[in-house]
A and B are shown apart, each in its own frame.
Chain A
Amino acid sequence: MQLSRPPIQPIAPAILDALPNPPLPEAVCPRRTRQQLDLMLLAIEALDLGGAEAMLTAAKELELQGVIKNRVSFWRLRATNPLRRYSQRRPLTLTEAKALVFMTCHLARRMTVLIRQMLLVYDQLLEKQLPLEQHIRLASYLERFRAHFRSRMNPKRTAVIAYNSDEKLDQLAMSLLGQLLFCTGAAGAQRYWSSLFDGEAS
């Protein structure tokens, strides 16, 4: 006889308690938080060819399967980004957001060398006033980021229309890359987490 299964409660791993719950009017993530979480992951995907796979592996390594069960549930979390083409009208809980923060920092830390190197190259190219396409690795990151952004974000959104040129998207990609570097630090997760709620706390 088959028993009716009780609804599965997401199990919050202990690791998530390291991040304090911010003082918010409601215990769900504000719009800017959801947007930033997804864009940072988008930047990781553009950095790493196997980024999407690595993210699911990272969820397992960090024992976050209670929150991020599979590719679909992961996609649903990311699609709470209001800029997405197929944006999900569901709230993103603080537990889910913490899981995404840890995943981002975990993956960014693995790519610390690459991120640093690309930021240094960026500085050099700007200094010499050379086009960013000069550096193959940097150019391919920017190109992939632009492609990802354009294919997944809703072009009718005002915030997306603002990124209507390659230059503006490149700037976004570079600032995300810099922010990813800050996630690699000793207090990276805490800093990133706190910054997600800047200007939102009550």
Chain B
Amino acid sequence: MMIQRQYSLPNCQLVIEGIGQEGADMSGRPPISVVTHVECHVAGHDRPLMGGRDLLEGLVKAVSAYAQEYLSGIPHPAAHLKHRGIPELVQLHRIDSNLHRLTVQPHINNPTGKEQEKLYQTPATPSAQLDLTTVQLFDMVEAVDQFFADTQTLPELSLNLTPLSKRYAAAQEPIAKRALPAALGLSGLTVAAIALFYVPNPPNRRPQPIATNPALTNPLASTTPTTSPTSATNASASPAASLDPASPDSTVADSTVVDSPSASPATDGTAIADPSSSSEIDAILSTAPEITDPGKLDEIIGTVQSKLYEGWMTKPPQSFTTNLEYRVGVAENGDILGFKFANDAALTYVKETPLLDLRYNPAGATPSPVPIAQLLVIFRPDGILEISPWNSPTEQPLP
């Protein structure tokens, strides 16, 4: 009994005709066990590929292998050459970023030579050749995959994917190219060794005790006399953060008494870096030129998000139960220049966020106003960080 199976995709149609197994259940969908004719139509190409089982096997093998090659970028031999340099019946090659050439060889080393004539309707042409776009190629792969998945058509042929072994990847680059890094490294080392030979040994200097600077140590002692053990470790771990009067304890005090005298040891730094005085921050936020270019903002948000996530991960698990919202001023390169609390919880739990550790301290920087991006940063109790431009807080962030 003749059976026909079609696998149709918008750009490709694979038609297989064959004979069912004798004695098999002919009700429903009988299995095809012998293939008599195969056709593969591709949109935009008038002549279909036609042939028998050889063509089918060659086609599905090459198309499947080439799909893997397309995905990984590493050549699959099954899509090109057989062992011993004999070309595969069906081959696929990339000829452009979006074009793939499918070639069917006219000669096969196959004893059933009589079928040869039938295989190719036009024996004058040496081989059939189709140029497929990526979408057409995909449709062909999809037709092949549907055929593979169909257990009622040649059940012995099914999708069999195995990743290529290391030697195929290594064969991609010529030996000269692969040896180049090693050669460069060796010669570099030689040059460095020769150069360093002539460099005199550095004199042996004893470390001098660092002169204590009262300006650096006093504010800490005076503003936070009752430092808890945790903030003490914080202080020692990140001296940059502790030197600033905006260590968590003092921030609480400063935000209630704006411009308290204790908040002025860092007057040499720019005001941006000193979040102790909210009026100063306000001034910065209102005077500094703002970055509004969406592309740039996206970029800055990405950088800040990575930084904050990384910092947040080093913190102990959060204990806050409401969103912590901050208005953060960020320089073009992603440095956090200053931040303001946008809600009360943000103030209470500021130590659980990485903001204090990550704030950029421009020691001795000029106070010229740099362009800043204003961001709304929300630390959510479920571990999610939301960042959006301050002026359009509805936009969704990216991870």
Q: A185-B142, A187-B159 are in contact. List 10 more A-B contacts (CB 8 A).
A: A50-B396, A55-B399, A151-B299, A152-B302, A178-B138, A191-B141, A194-B161, A198-B72, A198-B168, A198-B169
- Tell me if B298 and A202 are in contact (CB < 8 A): no
**Chain A interface mostly helix, strand, loop or mixed?**
helix
Q: Hey, which chain A residues are within 8 Å of B1, CB to CB?
A: none
- Tell me if B71 and A202 are in contact (CB < 8 A): no
Mark each residue of chain B from 133 to 172: 1 if its CB lies under 8 Å from any CB of chain A, else 0. Answer: 1110010011001101100000000010111111011101
Q: What are 7 of the A-B contact pairs (CB < 8 Å)?
A: A72-B312, A86-B307, A151-B303, A178-B70, A195-B68, A198-B69, A198-B71
Q: Hey, which chain B residues are within 8 Å of A150, CB to CB?
A: 299
B306 at the interface (CB under 8 A from A): yes
Mark each residue of chain B from 54 to 82: 1 if its CB lies under 8 Å from any CB of chain A, else 0. Answer: 00000000000001111111101000000
- Tell me if B67 and A74 are in contact (CB < 8 A): no
Q: Hey, which chain B residues are within 8 Å of A23, CB to CB?
A: 163
Known A-B contacts A151-B299, A175-B97; A181 and B163 likewise in contact (beta carbons under 8 Å): no
Q: How far, in angstroms, from A52 to B300 measured CA to CA in the complex?
A: 17
Q: Hey, which chain B residues are within 8 Å of A137, CB to CB?
A: none
Q: How far, in angstroms, from A179 to B306 measured CA to CA in the complex?
A: 27
Residue of B nearest to A87 (CB): B306
A157 at the interface (CB under 8 A from B): no
Residue of B nearest to A187 (CB): B145
A: interface residue count bin? 35 or more
- Tell me if A123 and B135 are in contact (CB < 8 A): yes
The one of A148, A182, A201 that contacts B141, using a Cβ cutoff of 8 Å: A182
The one of A72, A181, A201 that contacts B135, using a Cβ cutoff of 8 Å: A181
B228 at the interface (CB under 8 A from A): no
B379 shortest CB reach to chain A, Å = 11
- Tell me if A71 and B399 are in contact (CB < 8 A): yes
Interface 9-residue window, one of A10-18, A92-100, A114-122: A114-122
Residue of A nearest to B136 (CB): A123
- Tell me if A187 and B149 are in contact (CB < 8 A): yes
Mark each residue of chain A from 82 to 118: 1 if its CB lies under 8 Å from any CB of chain B, else 0. Answer: 0011100000000000000000000000000000100
- Tell me if B135 and A116 are in contact (CB < 8 A): yes
B256 at the interface (CB under 8 A from A): no
Which B88-133 residues have a C-beta within 8 angstroms of A? 96-98, 133
Q: Hey, which chain B residues are within 8 Å of A174, CB to CB?
A: 97-98
- Tell me if A186 and B145 are in contact (CB < 8 A): yes
Q: Hey, which chain B residues are within 8 Å of A148, CB to CB?
A: 298, 302, 398
B191 at the interface (CB under 8 A from A): no
Q: Hey, which chain A residues are within 8 Å of B300, CB to CB?
A: 151
Q: How far, in angstroms, from A38 to B306 measured CA to CA in the complex?
A: 14
6 nearest A-B residue pairs (beta carbon): A199-B169, A195-B71, A151-B302, A197-B163, A198-B72, A195-B72
